[in-house]
Amino acid sequence: MNVDGAMKQDRRGFLRVAGTTTAALALGGLPFAAHAARAATEKLKIGVVGSGRVGGTLGGVWVKAGHEVMFSSRDLEHDKKLAANLGPNARAGTPREAAAFGEVLLISVPYRALPDVGKDLGNLVKGKVVIDTCNPIPSRDGDIATWAREKGAGLASAELLPGARIVRGFNAIGYARMGAAHEQPGRIGMPIAGDDAQAVAVASRLIREIGYEPVLIGGLAMGKYLMPGTPLAGERTPDQIRQIAATLK
Ligand SMILES: NC(=O)c1ccc[n+]([C@@H]2O[C@H](COP(=O)([O-])OP(=O)(O)OC[C@H]3O[C@@H](n4cnc5c(N)ncnc54)[C@H](OP(=O)(O)O)[C@@H]3O)[C@@H](O)[C@H]2O)c1
């Protein structure tokens, strides 16, 4: 599957989502549609929950791309320093403040923290596009990771973050490379999985803006392949990802 056609604007200003002209998106007063339309062209507010290696790096490159980013973790002082180094488009807050601030959320915590994050954020994630980088690693995260692997990481995250419009992404490349893809735009593919076409389109835009070419491998059930140690792990071209994804079920 390819996300290139997931969200395009036609001459009448309608948005095409997954190949279907969605007339409703041209009507004012529909928050969901309005959000998707804005996401196609305007700068976004991004809430980062988990401002460690991945969250700090991705949040930083999105700040450089012109978005407004609020960083959060359980260490507000760390996040204030991080934001101060990135300039006026960056700020710091609690995880609940970041979730309320963000039109799009990046959740990037150790998997063992995800149940608490889900409870803490509660309704704040409902209806929001959430990019989920979190990998269940039993040796690090314990029983919750074993459960998530059995269920599949995408479906498990959806259960822990009820109501979120989850897109799995950035799961199996090293954080140190996440700020470098823009040096050769489109060369490296980013496999993603999600059930919500508009959430996929918004995430795809953010992924493309920092230099990766998003490749939708399927719905959240396919998120089980977006982890270290799977055939899709590591840096690959978009075509390589498509070829590998075609062999997976
Ligand atoms: N490292 C990589 O190259 C890489 C690549 C792809 C995917 N991943 C996955 O992405 C996730 C993040 O990895 P990472 O390497 O960035 O980890 P990390 O450097 O340890 O950062 C984790 C962040 O989550 C925060 N955190 C932990 N518990 C929290 C909670 N209950 N509420 C809010 N924030 C919390 C931590 O800060 P406090 O502890 O101060 O709260 C920290 O800011 C993991 O699931 C990992 O498997 C990692």
Structure confidence at residue 138 (pLDDT): 97
Q: Which domains does the chain carry?
A: 3-42+109-245 (3.40.50.720)
Could you tell me the distance, in angstroms and rounded to a whole number, from the CA of residue 55 to the centre of ligand 1? 7
The response to whether residue 179 sits with its C-beta less than 6 Å from ligand 1 reads: no
Ligand 1 atom with the shortest distance to the CA of 174: 3
Residue 41 confidence (pLDDT): 64
Strand 165-168 relative to strand 45-49: parallel, antiparallel, unpaired? unpaired
Tell me which residue has its CA closest to atom 34 in ligand 1: 73
For residue 152, the number of C-alpha atoms closer than 13 Å in the C-beta half-sphere is: 14
* CA geometry: angle 46, 214, 162, nearest 5 deg: 50
What single letter denotes the amino acid at residue 36? A
pLDDT at 28: 29
Place of tokens 């390589």: 240
134 Cα to the center of ligand 1, angstroms: 8
Maximum distance among all alpha carbons in the chain? 53
| pTM beyond cutoff 0.75 | yes
Q: Are 191 and 232 in contact (CB under 8 A)?
A: yes
Instruction: Give the residue, out of 48, 49, 51, 53, with the most ligand 1 atoms within 8 A of its beta carbon, to mutate for a pocket test.
Output: 53
The reported pLDDT for the residue numbered 249 is 81
Q: Point out the residues of the chain with pLDDT beneath 70.
A: 1-41
Phi and psi (nearest 5°) for 18? 50, 40
Which atom in ligand 1 lies closest to the alpha carbon of residue 113?
Answer: 31
Position in ligand 1 atom list of the atom nearest CA 176? 3
**pLDDT confidence of residue 9:** 35
Q: Is the CB–ligand 1 distance for residue 57 below 6 Å? A: no
